[in-house]
Amino acid sequence: MVKAITARPASEPAHSPSDYKSRAQIAKALAHPARLMLVEVLSQGDRCVCDLTELVGVDQSTVSKHLSILKSAGIVDDLREGAKVFYHLRAPCVLKIFECIEGVLDLRLESESRWRRGRRGVR
């Protein structure tokens, strides 16, 4: 006799669709190597756009665009002092995301390494 498998009802999402949309906006703001670099640099202290341009290695308009995206997401904020604009990390909690990403990369590397060792044994 074959026992029927019954599906359990799906549980309700923990948050509203607009909450997930807001989270996705923040994740999207971080989803560029230059913006990740900017966040990491700003975690060490306030920097003017001119310093950030030099550190990231792209032109000032590109850095300004990346900073604008990060600012719109609420990750960084700016302060104008005369002709210079200084940026700082408004939400240092995003650095925890970096730790999580490093953990995922470590797991992926470990998994790939195990796979390669297994492949060598197959030959």
Question: What does the DSSP 8-state code read for residue 6?
Answer: -
Q: What is the pTM of this model?
A: 0.78
The tens digit of pLDDT for each residue in 71-113 reads 999 999 999 999 999 999 999 999 999 999 999 999 999 988 8
Q: What is the pLDDT of residue 89?
A: 98
Answer yes or no: is 54 within a domain: yes
Q: How far apart are CA 84 and CA 48, in angstroms?
A: 7
Does residue 50 lie in a domain region? yes
Helix, strand, or coil (residue 45): coil
Residues in the chain: 123
Assess if residue 56 is contained within a domain.
yes
Whether 4 maps to a domain, the answer reads no
CATH number at residue 102: 1.10.10.10
Q: In total, how many domains does the chain have? A: 1
Tokens of 48: 């003017």
CA–CA dist 69, 87 (Å, integer): 13
Q: Are 30 and 36 in contact (CB under 8 A)?
A: yes
Q: What digits encode the pLDDT tens for the residues 1-32?
A: 555 665 555 677 788 889 999 999 999 999 99
67 in a structural domain: yes
11 found inside a domain: no
Whether residue 9 lies inside any domain: the answer is no
